[in-house]
Structure 1
Amino acid sequence: MKKYALLILFVFPISRTAWAQSPEVLAIRKYGTQNADKMMREFAAFLAIPNIARDTVNIKKNAAFIMSMMTERGIKNVQLLAPSTAGAPPAVYGEVKVPGATQTLIFYAHYDGQPVNPAQWAPGLEPFKPQLYTGTIDKSGKNIPFPTDGQYNPDWRIYARSASDDKAGVFTILSAYEALTKNGLVPTSNLKFFFEGEEEAGSPHLNQILEKHSALLQSDLWIICDGPVHQTGRKQIVFGVRGDAHMDLTVYGPKRPLHSGHYGNWAPNPALLLAKLLASMKDDEGRVTIKGFYDDVTPLTASEKKAMQEVPSVEAQMKRELGLSTVETTGAVLNEAISVPSLNINGMQSGNVGKMASNQIPTFATAVLDLRLVLGNDWQRQQQKVVDHIKAQGYHVIDHEPTDDERAQYGKLIKVIPGEDGYNAQRTPMDLPIAQRVIKAVQTTTTDPLVLQPTSGGSLPLYLFKKYLNANTMTVPIANHDNNQHAENENIRLGNLFDGLETMTAVMRMK
């Protein structure tokens, strides 16, 4: 009786208007409800292993845990694919060969996570101690123990680092394959599994792995499980990602901090200088004013423009959720805004604030810029455009701490350190026959129309798959849009995990 009660809980998640009712979807759904206890215990154990890419000891533990999950599920040829650089995190690989299959799919997710600052997490939450809540903590969700009777509400949340980004992807892919085998269902494609260990660190060694193991990694399509479903809760398929590049800027003032009364209005304030410089990079309508910033953008195709027009509007919803009355880019909705290059200030620092504030002119001011790129942009060329803009504002650009001679010679000094781990955008044509089959397969799991996005606002180094393997990629995300990925209080909505189980099995069985 308890298992039937669990089934009732999962039949009516608020993220859908109705469930698809194909026999295979029903079988997978029943498997999920009957095995919820086992699945949640395994997922929680996975989340409890710290997974910052530079933490070599724990990264190895994560890789070993994944290999164990794969072996237990009967996946063959399980191994670590190491890059050429010794000590760098490996990818975890495995495969399933299906007699008679004429195509091969590779399923990708990453098992590393963003760095954490435990002090920023809500009271009672610890990044690597997964905990179950009845809802979001900002809406009075309560901490409860993991049930012993198998009854899990789809609106409950698990809080932990990588609960959504992207251990949820690793776990759901492997659980989907297990659900197929336990139900006697055979994949229609050969399957390969590739789980990366340093995506959140910029994938600096992914190129080495792809090049070194290119023969092993041949396929007809890569299925990327990363990122959130649409803000409406509808399932979505994303055909591209933006590229990414970072830059560190430091503006210099006096060699020692000065009393703001004795020296204010006389000594240049680096915080004010940096603020003016950053303000010069965007106009009041949110458009980047850096020369040539948009010049090399590859236009959307007709089919991509059509898909963009059919994406449901979430403007009012997201303004309400985020407490916004206006948006930065005048005249652009969200999915249009993420389809062009962007310049974001990740953080700024100069002097102290709050109780630590003092009446001083600080010695420096620093900021980190995040450049998101679209198809056509080159990440290093985009960084150079920013440098050229800075020079045009009268700054002398250096790559080191300034010398006394440089301080004496130049009125405006700035240290610019371009990030070395940037990468370009990627986009797969929406009209590829295999892409259409993926769409059809995912659609069998829901009666709501799918959201088809030409590109994601987020970034992954998917251009490397094209460069080294000549492979196409499609992103099929499962996480809830309000999952706090990359930030404190990261979480996954349980209904999304179980929806993802159906999604991934449908792709593995696509005709």
Structure 2
Amino acid sequence: MKKSFFFLLVCFLIKQSVLAQSPEALKIRKYGSENAIKIISEFSEFLSIPNVASDPIGQQKTASFIMEMMQKRGIQNTQLLNATTPNVPPAVYGEVIVPGAKQTLIFYAHYDGQPVNPTQWAAGLEPFNPKLFTNALTKNGIDIPFPKDGNYQDDWRIYARGASDDKDGVVAILNAYDAIKKNGLTPNYNLKFFFEGEEEAGSPHLNEILEKHKSLLQSNLWIICDGPVHQSGKKQIVFGVRGDTHLDLTVFASKRPLHSGHYGNWAPNPGLMLAKLLSSMKDEKGKVTIKGFYDDVTPLSPSERKALDEVPSVDEQMKLELGINDVEMQGLNLFESVNLPSLNINGMQSGNVGKMVSNQIPTNATAVLDLRLVLGNDWERQQQKVIDHIKTQGFYVTDKEPTDEERSKYAKIIKVIREDGVNAQRTSMDLPIIQKVITAVKLTTNDQVVLQPTNGGTLPLFLFEKYLKAITVTVPIANHDNNQHAENENIRIGNLFDGIVTIGAVMMMR
């Protein structure tokens, strides 16, 4: 009797799980499992092409491979969209015009990748030689051959540069359309595809491409496929991104290195001067002390605040995972912190350490500041706030190497170089078309779909808004521990195939 009851309960739960997902999602999921060999084989070939943003030959090969993938799937009007500036990686474009469709969706991912240092990758791994492991390396995953029977396990991982940022996005988008087409399904929207080649370089020429091809790129919504799902593994939809800009700082002291025995306690030490300056920019609770740093932040709307309150906390999970005991901004969780502008030290340098250390007082000290912005901040204005703060600390600010006259006149001299930046962007989650996206994604899973007002990373979404007056929403698919931008980048197999289902469901949304 107990056995019979247990069996019926299991059957009921399975039935409820199936009912929770739309028929289209189930068909797309089945397509993925039945075509795993073909999908992974193409993905592996794609990952084998070097795609570092500074490598024009690799970029050209990558763009050509995407064109071939699109043409194989019958995507129409495939072409390279060039910027007005010559020798810029093009965007790869294609479209599917659906008879009777009155609205258009554009699916975005980028095909360029971050630089690589092969010596930092784990033994046996090469950035552009994809390998399959039974789990993450941090969980003792073992290197195995790609199975010939197509029986891939969800927790297996493919290691390669671009595996999760963002060639997985390209592959998920194109295979989602393939699954729809092969299942005889008809999208309710015209579909356009736009794959950028300069995102990792800061999208310096994206504005030119958008302006030059404005009429071609009109749409009702851009769906951005980039970034990770929630740290719990739950799917998430992100409605905005932070902006980003940088400042390069160099503090000057003596014109030549000095013996620390002969001149210590007398000659100013630039490393200490820089450290004191940087420590003046934040208090012990992690709050930036620069005047007006938070003043122009646009508050979250009631629906955004409600969504943020419902995001599952991952603070304890991430502290354990990262081996840290405390957080920087006291009283705020991870996602609340991300919805505020931040000031981060990307790197510092003064003199030598380790085997190269010597008893000297260095001539200068440098640091790079990373300023993340939220809606309401302007990147140039935010830079100026930092520079004004530096002046209040007694520094003479210049953008050049100091002259002898300046050295004689000022006790504290700093060179500040402004880097370009991008502003933050956020889409209202109350828009009707956004509500359709939320419904579509919810029909692919039995778990909570996490709704994030702002993502911690930066994408050039404000450019779509500025030049095309476009609405954007981000639907990420990668695992949160994918090591993007770093050594041992990877994609979890379950995330890749589930991503195909998610993107396919958005293509089919009503």
Report which stretch shifted further, 465-474 or 259-268. 259-268
Shift of residue 196 of structure 1? 0.5
Conservation of the 8 A alpha-carbon contact between 2:297 and 2:374: yes
RMSD: 1.1
Matched with 1:27 is 27
Counterpart of 2:436, as a letter, is: R
1:226 aligns with 2:226: yes
Shift of residue 134 of structure 1? 1.0
Measure the CA separation in 2 of the matches of 1:354 and 1:124.
27
Conservation of the 8 A alpha-carbon contact between 1:259 and 1:360: yes
- 5 Å-filtered alignment, 1:17-56, equals 20-56=20-56
Shift of residue 66 of structure 1? 0.4
Matched with 1:385 is 385
User: Tell me, what secondary structure is at the counterpart of 1:174?
Assistant: helix
Q: Percent sequence identity over matched residues? A: 71
Shift of residue 184 of structure 1? 1.0
Counterpart of 2:317, as a letter, is: Q
- 5 Å-filtered alignment, 1:317-466, equals 317-420=317-420, 422-466=421-465
Conservation of the 8 A alpha-carbon contact between 2:24 and 2:508: no
Measure the CA separation in 1 of the matches of 2:275 and 2:313.
34
Deviations 1:277-322 (A, max 9, x none): 1111110000001111111111111111111111111111111111
1:239 aligns with 2:257: no
Shift of residue 24 of structure 1? 2.2
Conservation of the 8 A alpha-carbon contact between 1:251 and 1:415: yes
Matched with 1:248 is 248
Deviations 1:372-408 (A, max 9, x none): 0000000011011111111111111111122222222
Measure the CA separation in 2 of the matches of 1:329 and 1:494.
34
1:93 aligns with 2:93: yes
Matched with 2:167 is 167
Report which stretch shifted further, 477-486 or 129-138. 129-138
Shift of residue 182 of structure 1? 1.1
User: Tell me, what secondary structure is at the counterpart of 2:57?
Assistant: helix
Measure the CA separation in 2 of the matches of 1:358 and 1:187.
67
Matched with 2:313 is 313
Matched with 2:179 is 179
User: Tell me, what secondary structure is at the counterpart of 2:437?
Assistant: helix
Conservation of the 8 A alpha-carbon contact between 2:47 and 2:161: yes
Measure the CA separation in 2 of the matches of 1:117 and 1:270.
30
Matched with 1:262 is 262
Report which stretch shifted further, 477-486 or 142-151. 142-151
Counterpart of 2:361, as a letter, is: I
Conservation of the 8 A alpha-carbon contact between 2:121 and 2:127: yes
Matched with 2:486 is 487
1:472 aligns with 2:471: yes
* Structure 1: gaps of 5 or more residues: 1-16
| TM-score in terms of structure 2 length | 0.95
User: Tell me, what secondary structure is at the counterpart of 2:289?
Assistant: coil
* Structure 2: gaps of 5 or more residues: 1-15
Report which stretch shifted further, 429-438 or 348-357. 348-357
Counterpart of 1:150, as a letter, is: G
Measure the CA separation in 2 of the matches of 1:103 and 1:160.
37
| TM-score in terms of structure 1 length | 0.95
Matched with 2:508 is 509
Measure the CA separation in 1 of the matches of 2:134 and 2:320.
22
Shift of residue 364 of structure 1? 1.3
Matched with 1:271 is 271
Measure the CA separation in 1 of the matches of 2:431 and 2:125.
45
Shift of residue 190 of structure 1? 0.2
Report which stretch shifted further, 83-92 or 138-147. 138-147
User: Tell me, what secondary structure is at the counterpart of 2:422?
Assistant: coil
Conservation of the 8 A alpha-carbon contact between 1:125 and 1:131: yes
Shift of residue 22 of structure 1? 3.5
Counterpart of 1:326, as a letter, is: D
Question: Size of the alignment, in residue pairs?
Answer: 494
Measure the CA separation in 1 of the matches of 2:260 and 2:137.
42
Counterpart of 2:381, as a letter, is: R
Counterpart of 2:85, as a letter, is: T
Conservation of the 8 A alpha-carbon contact between 1:18 and 1:448: no
Report which stretch shifted further, 407-416 or 92-101. 407-416
Task: Mark the CA change 1:249 to 1:234 in structure 2 (over 3 Å): closer, same or farther.
Answer: same
Deviations 1:235-279 (A, max 9, x none): 000011110101111111212211111111111111111111111
Matched with 2:206 is 206
Task: Mark the CA change 1:482 to 1:193 in structure 2 (over 3 Å): closer, same or farther.
Answer: same
User: Tell me, what secondary structure is at the counterpart of 1:436?
Assistant: helix
Shift of residue 23 of structure 1? 2.8
Measure the CA separation in 1 of the matches of 2:408 and 2:459.
43
- Dislocated runs of 4+, deviation >4 Å: 17-21
Measure the CA separation in 2 of the matches of 1:47 and 1:401.
43
Deviations 1:10-36 (A, max 9, x none): xxxxxxx95644332222122111111
Matched with 1:196 is 196
